[in-house]
Amino acid sequence: MAERELSELGLLGVFLAVAVGFIGLTTTFRSSSAQLFPRLTGTVIVVGIGLLLLEKRLPEPVRRIVAESVDIVDRDEFGMNGEDGGDDSDTAITGIDAGETTTKPDRRDLPPVLDRLTARQFTFGAIAGYVGVAYVLSILVATPLFVLTYGYWNRQPRWAVIGLTVVSIGICLLFMSIANAPLDRSLLFPRGMF
C-alpha cells in the first residue's frame, strides 16, 4: 500500500474509534436529549467512513460526491501547489525570491522534525494529539494549542496565529457560558478547571 493510503486508513481508524466511543458512551447517559448529539455525530462519522472505504464500489453519481476533493484553504491565495501544500520552486522552499536577500519577517523556519512531515502526516498527528490532549487536559487547553500549532506549521503570519488562538479560547469560553458545555473537564480535571 502507498504511504497515502496507509495514512488515510490510519486517520479513518482514529475517526472511527472516536465515533464508536461517542455512540458507545451515550448508553451511560440518563437523559435522552444528552444522547442525541453524540449519537448523531458518531453515526454521521461512521456512515461517512463507510462511504469513503466503499468509494470504488459506489454508483458513479454517489462516487463523484464522495470522491470530490475539497480544499479548506484556497491554494492560489497562499501560493501553494501540489498535494502536500507546497511547490518545488526556490521561493516555496526557502521563502526567498531570487532577488531577495532575507526571509520575509512574518514567516519562520520550522524545526527539522516538523519540516520533514507531509501535510497528511502532520494532520494525522495533530488530530491524534488534539484528541489525546483534550482527553487528558481538556478541550479548553487542546483547542488553542491545536490552533497555535496548525497556524505555525502552515507558516501563517504571527499576528494571525495569535489572533486565531485568542478567538479559539473565546469560542470555548462562549460554549462554556452559553451552552453550559463542560469544556474544561478532563481526565486530570474531572470537576473542571474553573
Angle at 88 (CA atoms; ends 83, 94), nearest 5 degrees: 120
Question: Phi then psi for 28, rounded to 5 degrees?
Answer: -90, -5
pLDDT tens digits along 110-167: 666 666 777 778 888 888 889 899 999 999 999 999 999 888 888 888 888 899 999 9
The domain limits of the chain are 1-70, 105-194
- The Cα–Cα gap between 129 and 123 comes to 10
Give 49-101 pLDDT, tens digit per residue: 888 888 888 888 777 777 776 555 555 555 555 444 444 444 444 444 444 44
